[in-house]
Chains A and B, each alone.
Chain A
Amino acid sequence: MHNRLRVLREEAGLSQSECADALGVSRQTVISIEKGHFDPRLSLAFRIGRLFDVAVDEVFTPED
């Protein structure tokens, strides 16, 4: 899955640690999602969407 987490996080002015704290996950998890190494579960995907006030499909898009 492609994701726009890094773009959204930087637009919001959040560091990776601040983003991780807000989502209730480790900084390593945020880093791995941004690198595309880890596709989060649906519940975390929705938390990411809520954090940046966007729909989930604006954060994650399937690779074609």
Chain B
Amino acid sequence: MTTTRTRWTIAAAAGTAVAAVVGFVAATTRDDAPDTVTFAVFAAMTLPFAVALVAIGLDRTEHPEQAEESIESQWTTRASSGAFYDTIVAMGVTVFVASVLDWNALPLWIFVLLGLADMSARLVILQRREG
């Protein structure tokens, strides 16, 4: 099993490499800003998520409980399925409104934020109601 320090060191190195690759690809394909700016923005935005993903992937800590037998797992499942339903409905309504009002561009990132916020709110409510 890797130590915590080793795991985060590997995660930082691998995450930086991934962020650099994403930044490089963005800089070579996009032409809406100077390459250095595009590289810096995309690499910086990618870095924390890449580091976190690698760190999670390297975590081999043995957790005492079996996830599917925990109430926390059930809360997560219920919150995510509810948020998914809400997001689909919101997207459907927005597409309808956009077609009526002849909007050309739909900001999809809003639905990502909506879904995450919805799931977080549902988790908090479930924990307070049943916890």
Could you tell me which A residues sit within 8 Å of B by CB distance?
21, 24-26, 28-29, 31-33, 35, 37-38, 40-41, 43-44
The A interface, classified by DSSP as helix, strand, loop or mixed, is: helix
B69 CB to nearest A CB, Å: 5
Interface membership of B32, Cβ < 8 A:
no
Contacting pair A29 B70 (CB below 8 A):
yes
Interface membership of B107, Cβ < 8 A:
no
- By a CB distance below 8 angstroms, the chain A residues around B102 are none
Contacting pair B64 A37 (CB below 8 A):
no
Chain A residue, CB-CB nearest to B66: A24
B93 CB to nearest A CB, Å: 32
Contacting pair B68 A29 (CB below 8 A):
no
- By a CB distance below 8 angstroms, the chain A residues around B130 are 32, 35, 37-38
Separation of A40 and B67 alpha carbons in the complex (Å): 12
Separation of A44 and B64 alpha carbons in the complex (Å): 13
Contact of B65 among A29, A33, A35, A37 (CB under 8 A): A29
